[in-house]
Every structure is written in C-alpha cells, then in structure tokens.
Amino acid sequence: MKIRGLLIAAVILGALSGLLYWSDHHKPKDAQASTDTQPKIWSLNEGDITKLDVKKKSAPDLVLTKDSAGKWQMDAPERYSVDQSAVSGMLTNLTSLNAERVVEDKATNLSTYGLSDPSLQLDVTEKNNQSRTLLLGDETPTGSAMYAKLSGDPRVFTVGTWTKNTVDKSPNDLRDKRLITLDADKVSRVELNQKNDDLEFGRDKNQWQILKPKPMRANSTEVDDLVRKLADAKMDLSGSADDLKKSPAAFNSGTPVATAKITGDAGAQELQVRKNKNDYYAKSSVVAGVYKVPVDVGQELSKKLEDFRNKKLFDFGFEDPNQIEIHDGANAYYLMHNNEGWWSNGKTMDPGGVGNLVDKLRDLSASKFVDSGFTQPAITLVVKSDDNKRVEKVLIAKNGDTYVAKRETEPALYQLDSSAVQDLQKAAADIKPEAGKK
C-alpha cells in the first residue's frame, strides 16, 4: 500500500512538473511582465463607433451598423432591428479595454497563441473611418484568460474571458424581440377583436373607458395591464432552428385568440394571436414573420368584457372625500371634511370611525354585474370629492338575499354581497363625536 501511494504521488508530481515546463516554454522569456499594471489596449468613445463586425470560426459574420439617426441595426447575417440597450451594453464593456498582462512584446509565431486563425475577430469602425481589429485566440492554461492581439501592435496580451463573452453574441441575442414597439404610456386606444366579442377602450388622460360594446366604466388597472402585456410581448427565439421554422404552420392551424390593435402618438400597430395546443403564436404588423410568444400574452388577450369593467361603485380613490351623505331608511348621516378634520352637525367627529366608513365606501364593489333586480332604492349614498368637483351618487335596492346598486349617471347594475352593505351600515352607525371636543 505504501509503494502504491508513492507511485501515485510520483505521477502527480511528474504531471505538475510537465505543466510548469510547458507553461514556461509556451511563451518567450520576455513574457515575464509585471501583473501589477494592466496595459491599455484601446480607449474608444462610444458615440464615435459606427460599425461592429464580429467574425467567428463557427458562424457567419455578425455586422452591426449605426444609421443616420444614431440607431443600431443588424446588416448580417440577416437584416434585423436590434435591441439598442443590448448593443449599448456591448459597447460600454469594449470602449475601455485593458490587458491583464503582456505575454510577448514582439510576437513572431501567432499560432502559438491561437491567433493566426483566431477564434474571434472584432473589427471596430469609428466615424472618421478609422478601423481597429482585435484578435482573440486560445485560452491560457488556467482557463481564466485568453490571448489577444491588436492589429498594428506586435505585442500579444492576455485579456479576461469576459471580453469574448461580451462580443460573442448570436443574432438572436441582439435582435429587437418586441412585436409591438409603441410606448405603452402614450397609447390612447385599444381594440380587442375576439371570436365573440369586439372590445374597444379609450384613454382620457390617465383614465380608461370602455367604448365598445357600449360606453361603460373601465378598470383602468386592468386595461393598463393589457397595454403593458402587448408592449412587452416578445418573440420567443429560444427553440432550435427547426422549431422556429414550424411557427408559421402552427399559427395557421391554430385557434384564433384575438387581434389587438393599439394606437398611440406614433400611429397604430396590430398583433394577431392564435393558440395551438398549449402554445401561443403571434403575427405582428411591425415585424415580418410568425413567432411563438409567452403564454401570459395569450391569456391576457383571452380576457372578457367583465374582466375589464370597473366593479367599484365610487371613483374617489385614495383621496379623502369632501362630503359624505347617507340616507338609510330613517337614518341620515351628513359629514364634511376640511383641514381640521371631519364634522357633522357642528361637532368634530372621531377620525377613526369616519376613516372606517370611508374605507367601506371606497371598497364597495360588485360581486358581479346583473341585468335586472333594481327596484325601490333603500339606501342613497352621495360622495363629493376633488374639491367638490366630483359628485357621485349611488342608489342601493334590496333584492332577495342580496342588494343591487346603480350609479345615478349610468345604466349598469352592480350586485352587492349582503355582508358589504351590512358592514357599511354598521360603520355609519358607529360614527361618534371625537372625545373631548365640541
């Protein structure tokens, strides 16, 4: 056992000695440069760069050029719009490029470092038509760096492997994958054509309204989510080349989900979505082709009218109302709000009790929408807000075990849970003057 252990140790020692000998003789003796300093390879101004040409052994050239408006585009291997932030990220990492150390001051045999046939060549062109070429060769023995050379410079450097990772991008890595390019914040109209429904939404400032099938209050948060999903819809390019080629056939044989048309300050754009088995595919008016899209895009476009309707009875939101008036049978409540608090009949009211009532009014929502059931109103609620500019009046009628409410200015009927109405009645009855105040 001792002899076997000694043999193993001898083998390991021999291997380490061989690696050390190879490393020392793989580069000339003048390569023993100090690692305390990092020689500068180049320093570029990102705004001056007009073209990037990335040549790789195993793939077609990747060519990016800047147009007259300062936007990057892909010219090869195919002409595509690109993700501007992705290209900017590449440039930011490349503009100031330092070597880890100088391996050889005057290299005579580039094949020693894998630089006679480099794994990657980067050609950078600036607006003065000056070009620089960076060659990246083999990895160093430790694998933490790789050999590099700048055209016109006899030296061979080592650079961190991140340098190659920065520029070794596929066309799909850099493509602008958006299927809708409008700014979501500037969209003013959305049309959603589904199999059995045609919905249309219009925005006035920050408030959405349902325009079709008929004018109705919209849940602005839900419509905003729809717009965001459309604006964020991106082509899924993660599959194999064969999978991507199957997308048009999957779209053509799929079941239509919806066609969304959104209009903003830059015009109108359209997205058609179909479902095939468990996947969704889309065709855009912005970019040619058919692409698989995330499931949540298809699910968002499958929502129905009721999902987008505003179920809340009041619109005063998180601000405190200016006045509240409640008539509930023989009970009546009048509350006014100013900088000093809440008042009723000349008395200062307990802010906690009034706050609870305001919360009940704010949260009063339909459990569902109904077409009938509103008869004689039993409760009348009037809330004034926005410096008394907004006046909202809600009438509530008893309907069997539930209640049906309507806003005075619209025909829609809101079915309310009995518990919500009872909680509102109790909150109103519990209001008391503030202790110790007149």
pLDDT bin (cut points 50, 70, 90) of residue 31 is very low
Q: Is residue 306 predicted with pLDDT exceeding 90? A: yes
Q: Is residue 398 predicted with pLDDT exceeding 90? A: yes
First and final C-alpha spacing in the chain = 99
| Cα atoms in the Cβ-side hemisphere of radius 13 Å centred on 18 | 6
List the structure tokens of 147.
């050999």
pLDDT at position 409 is 87
Q: Alpha-carbon distance 180 to 432, whole Å? A: 55
pLDDT at position 145 is 94
| 28 or 5: which leads in pLDDT | 5
Residue-wise pLDDT tens digits, 132-159: 999 999 999 988 899 999 999 999 999 9
Provide the edge-to-edge strand list for the sheet that holds 198-204: 216-217, 207-212, 198-204, 187-194, 255-264, 267-276, 279-284, 290-293
What's the full length of the chain, in residues?
438
Q: Is residue 433 predicted with pLDDT exceeding 50? A: yes
pLDDT at position 241 is 85
Residue-wise pLDDT tens digits, 65-81: 999 999 999 999 999 99
Mean pLDDT of 173-202: 95
Percent of the chain past pLDDT 70, that is, above it, reads: 91
Q: Is residue 221 predicted with pLDDT exceeding 90? A: yes
Q: Is residue 184 predicted with pLDDT exceeding 70? A: yes
Q: Alpha-carbon distance 26 to 19, whole Å? A: 10
pLDDT at position 294 is 95
Q: Alpha-carbon distance 316 to 278, whole Å? A: 41
- Cα 177 to Cα 78, 97, 171, 303, distances in angstroms: 15, 29, 11, 24
Asked if 136 contacts 164 with a C-beta cutoff of 8 angstroms, the reply is yes
Q: Is residue 110 predicted with pLDDT exceeding 90? A: yes
pLDDT at position 360 is 97
In one letter, which amino acid is 120? L
Kindly report the average pLDDT of the chain as a whole number: 90
Mean pLDDT of 279-299: 96
Domain boundaries defined on the chain: 30-174, 184-308, 323-429
Mean pLDDT of 96-124: 93
Percent of the chain past pLDDT 90, that is, above it, reads: 79
pLDDT at position 34 is 41
Residue-wise pLDDT tens digits, 231-262: 999 999 988 888 889 999 999 999 999 999 99
Residue-wise pLDDT tens digits, 342-392: 999 999 999 999 999 999 999 999 999 999 999 999 999 999 999 999 999
Q: Is residue 5 predicted with pLDDT exceeding 70? A: no
Q: Alpha-carbon distance 263 to 268, whole Å? A: 4
pLDDT at position 123 is 96
What does pTM read for this prediction? 0.78
Asked if 170 contacts 59 with a C-beta cutoff of 8 angstroms, the reply is yes
Q: Is residue 19 predicted with pLDDT exceeding 70? A: no
List the structure tokens of 227.
């717009």
